[in-house]
Structure 1
Amino acid sequence: MSTFKALVASKGETGTELAFRDFAEADLMEGDVTVRVTHSTVNYKDGLALTGRAPVVRRWPMIPGIDFAGRVESSEHPDFKPGDLVILNGWGTGETHLGAYAQKSRVKGDWLVPLPEGMNPDEAMAIGTAGYTAMLCVLALERYGLRPTDGPVVVTGAAGGVGSIAIALLAKAGWHVIASTGRAEEADYLKELGAAEIIDRAELSAPGRPLGKERWIAGVDAVGSHTLANLLSMTRYGGAIAACGLAQGLDLPASVAPFILRGVALLGIDSVMCPKPRRLEAWQRLASGLDRDKLALMTTLIPLADVPETGRAILDGKVRGRVVVEIG
């Protein structure tokens, strides 16, 4: 029986237990494409799954990991053939479907996106769900009709994965980017990515007024809770905030005032079940609109063995930018 290496999460008496073990290919889940995984990544959501701090995993035992890039080994799907390089983001992998922290994965071909021409698998995972989500935020702001000439854009959780790539994308597109972070020591890093201003997250993380001074026309928020409420209260007339995360919390202690007095919009961003046409658009834009030198600046490479420790570190705010996992 063919086996491969995998990081397996089990539900133990004291919480989530992780172990590296040989996994049988015959035990992979249903799907019409089998992929030899070459690279993955560690997102904030992966950290929650690896540590059990939130109920991300809903099937046990589970191979965590919501992202992978790799090469098709076998396919019964008309869009893919052996040898094709592919990307997967979301669709319940690492939650209800065996995920990316393994040498092989079997998934539905409809979940896969072809690796864009000129992009390497490790670059795709340097982007990962965090960067793909950042691109979805940028596309949402553009669809809403906002442009760099309308005013500045604010990015919260700026030193994290979503924030780092959002800054690089927005700066390259010509936006004046205001980066919000709680890590003052990362100011030079954020400016290298393209941030024009740095503000302390403390300005946004405490309970605020229903309506504040107008400071920006647009925003990308990966934090939620009071931070998102304050972003909305300080958005200029006719502006919008794209919300994609919950690092501070799931709640939204806000007022209707920004919506009914300034016509502000809150744009919800979902990356997990996002339709394939929009995924393809996001990945093509990432291939052409993201500075690869800046991507390299924000990326750290780790082996699969370091994933559990990195999962804990990302929740503790100790990870800057993006982490690529070399599956090996």
Structure 2
Amino acid sequence: MDSKLPLALTQGDPAGIGPELAARLWFERRENGVAPFIYLGDPRILVERARMIGIDLPIAVSAPETALATFDTALPVFTIDAGIPVQPGEPDPRSAPGTISAIETAVRFTMRGKTAAVVTNPIAKSVLYQSGFSYPGHTEFLAALSQGETGQAVMPVMMLACPQLRVVPITIHIALSRVPDSLTADLIVETARITAHDLRVKFGIERPRLAFAGLNPHAGEDGAMGTEEQTIIRPALASLRDEGIDVIGPLPADTMFHAAARQNYDVALCMYHDQALIPVKTLGFDDGVNVTLGLPFIRTSPDHGTAFGIAGKGVARVESLLSAAKMAAAMAEASK
């Protein structure tokens, strides 16, 4: 990572655990080797939430250009007013403009070379929807912001990662009944291209190895348990091999995630949401990271939600945010 650029960390929903996790991330920065970051959000909520969990948090109202100079002694904060008093565990749509502005600002800073990467704390989509937010979620909003900055459309790809496993779901938040009709060779190929490219450029893996799960039990058993492997997945993999991408599969999903099998690939591409997320969350529930591939900037996020039920109680675990910050910094370094 460029030592002259901090990470940009958004507040997430201010009624959730994002502010207190940011406080803990800074407070434990030395023992955990946290890269410098600037917090984008409401400083009053940040300090109050830190106090609630027993942290006397020094802050410095900053811009990205001055964040590094203050990081060792105070948490740099770029002020984005929440607009209303916010109580932990009590989400309010009136705070949504500040939540959205923090994301917009982080992307703008990063794409204009003021910060090294975007790390986003969790948002509550239902709260944002009540304020008129029109995107399905974080990922689609980030893609739209990217297009607004560059004029170029992008296809964002969700990757979940923990120390033992990386996974990419090819279809994501759709009903299981819709997966077979939504799964196309073109979708598989484009997802794989983006994944392979970003593993090379942002993770420094010279020749990424991509393993593909089958859709059906036993990867279709040569058509006895389904034909999608023969008609969709295998032709897509053949096209990828012709492009020089290292692919294996389709593999039976029930045998590709044990420890020995994981040594044969760098990322597993799965045909639907739970096929990908069950193994990665089983292996790395507390330290999993959500990475958005396909963007012209680096974005990571902890792999958990706003956790309104425990906000302000001092029991939220920082490991996933810590892993997201460390991964963002490593990706920025690999991308130099």
Question: TM-score by structure 2 length?
Answer: 0.29
Relative to its length, the structure with more helix (as a share) is: 2
Relative contact order, higher structure (CA 8 A, sep 6+): 2
Question: TM-score by structure 1 length?
Answer: 0.29
